[in-house]
């Protein structure tokens, strides 16, 4: 799109004139308009005055040539971006995410062959870069300890460690108890026999 003296031209397959010729004829038509020539091209505004007949003929011929190349007096409007909207939700609650925001090419929107907005319609930034909390988890429990009694009922215990993983960055401790106890060797104990005290001697078998 080329604009000279308020005249707009767009590419047209039917237009065979070189660009420099179009440019020169635009200047001629602009002069015609200033002298009061009434153009039929869209958007053209004539100045005060009344051109001579031979000028009208020349201006009309130039106008026909420009019309075949889609020339008009409509002023092009280049697009400009409006303000950015609000930032979107961060893609992560912690540990580093991203969020974006957009803007529209409507302040003003491009019109009449004007250029699109320059630059990007969206932008992205990092967010929630704080480290994530790590809640603690228990390791597998260790072996049971030796029973406190060989029989008749005893107890034994085993423990686990809060390191799978260990809590970090404000994460919660492991829930529950670190050790557990159970009964063991509940079988009755064996009882070995024992002699009572001896009784009185019996009478002697001979006098």
Quote the crossing angle between the two packed helices 19-34 and 53-67, to the nearest 10°. Answer: 140
Q: Residues 162-191: what's their mean pLDDT?
A: 96
User: What residues contact 50, with CB distance under 8 A and at least 6 apart?
Assistant: 36
pLDDT in tens, 98-157: 999 999 999 999 988 789 999 999 999 999 999 999 999 999 999 999 999 999 999 999
User: How many residues are recorded in the chain?
Assistant: 207
Q: How confident is the model at residue 64 (pLDDT cuts 50, 70, 90)?
A: confident
- Compute the distance between CA of residue 79 and CA of residue 59 in angstroms, rounded to an integer: 33
Cα dihedral angle (143, 145, 146, 148), rounded to 10 degrees? Answer: -150
Please report the beta strands in 56-178, taking only residues with DSSP state E, as ranges in sequence order: 71-72, 97-102, 122-127, 154-159
> Residues 48-68: what's their mean pLDDT?
84
Q: What is the pTM of this model?
A: 0.52
Q: How far is the CA of 21 from the CAs of 17, 42, 62, 123, in angstroms?
A: 6, 20, 11, 43
Q: Which of 20-29, 49-58, 96-105 has the highest mean pLDDT?
A: 96-105
Mean pLDDT of the chain, nearest integer: 88
Over 50: is that where the pLDDT of 2 sits?
Answer: no
pLDDT at residue 8, rounded to an integer: 44
Q: What is the dihedral of CA 102, 106, 107, 108, to 10 degrees?
A: 160
- Please report the pLDDT score of residue 14 as a whole number: 58
Q: Name residue, tokens 């085993």.
A: 158
């Amino acid at each position: 799109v080329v604009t000279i003296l308020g005249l707009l031209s767009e590419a047209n397959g039917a237009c065979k004139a070189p660009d420099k010729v179009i440019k020169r004829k635009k200047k001629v038509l602009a002069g015609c308009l200033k002298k009061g020539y009434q153009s039929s091209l869209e958007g053209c505004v004539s100045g005060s005055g009344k051109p001579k007949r031979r000028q009208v003929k020349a201006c009309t011929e130039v106008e026909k040539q420009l019309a075949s190349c889609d020339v008009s007096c409509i002023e092009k409007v280049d697009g400009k971006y409006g303000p950015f909207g609000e930032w979107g939700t961060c893609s992560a609650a912690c540990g580093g995410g991203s969020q974006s925001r957009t803007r529209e090419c409507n302040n003003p929107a491009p019109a009449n062959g004007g250029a699109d907005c320059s630059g990007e319609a969206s932008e992205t930034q990092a967010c929630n870069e704080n480290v994530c909390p790590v809640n603690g988890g228990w390791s597998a429990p260790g072996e049971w300890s030796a029973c406190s009694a060989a029989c008749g009922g005893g107890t034994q215990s085993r423990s686990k460690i809060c390191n799978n993983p260990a809590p970090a960055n404000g994460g919660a401790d492991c829930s529950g108890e670190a050790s557990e106890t159970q009964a063991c060797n509940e079988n009755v104990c064996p009882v070995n026999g024992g002699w009572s005290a001896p009784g009185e001697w019996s009478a002697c078998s001979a006098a």
